[in-house]
């Protein structure tokens, strides 16, 4: 897993109604909390970060102590495991795909 550092760009799952219909928005890492680690839930390695989310519209989200994954499927698996938390509020992040 890549290690997050201040200023890096990640993608965050958000509420599409706050992001012009898209469920993903870019975010800037403002703080990283330690090194990547393996959690007991079996969803892969992750790191805890704070981010400023740049939505496509007037909303700007501030998300603290969120989980950063290598890929979107891992992030979506965590979101599915906790459906009581609204997407975008707990803001699960992942690295953008390499193109």
Cα distances (Å, whole numbers) of residue 49 to 13, 20, 21, 23, 35: 14, 25, 25, 20, 10
Greater confidence, 35 or 43?
35
Helix (H) or strand (E) holding 12, with range, is: strand 9-13
pLDDT tens-digit series, residues 40-57: 776 678 899 999 999 998
Is the pLDDT score of 14 beyond 90? no
Q: What phi-psi label fits residue 7: left (phi over 0), alpha (psi between -120 and 50 degrees) or beta?
A: left
CA atoms of 52 and 44, how far apart (whole Å): 24
Residue 80 has pLDDT above 80, yes or no: no
By CB atoms closer than 10 A (0-12, 13-18, 19+), residue 42 is exposed
How many residues comprise the chain?
Answer: 99
pLDDT at residue 85 tops 70? no
Q: Is 59 or 23 the better-scoring residue by pLDDT?
A: 23
Mean pLDDT confidence for 5-17: 91
State mean pLDDT over 78-97: 70
What residue segments make up the domains of the chain, in order of their start? 9-94
Percent of the chain whose predicted confidence (pLDDT) is above 70: 88
């Amino acid at each position: 897993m890549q290690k997050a550092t201040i200023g890096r760009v990640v993608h965050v799952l958000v509420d599409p109604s706050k992001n012009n219909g898209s469920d993903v928005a870019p975010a800037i890492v403002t703080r990283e909390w330690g090194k990547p680690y393996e959690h007991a839930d079996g969803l892969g390695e992750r790191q805890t970060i704070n981010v400023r989310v740049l939505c496509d519209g007037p909303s700007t989200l501030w998300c603290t102590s969120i989980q950063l994954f290598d890929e979107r499927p891992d992030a979506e698996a965590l979101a599915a495991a906790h459906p009581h938390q609204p997407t975008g509020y707990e803001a699960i992040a992942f690295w953008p795909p390499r193109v």
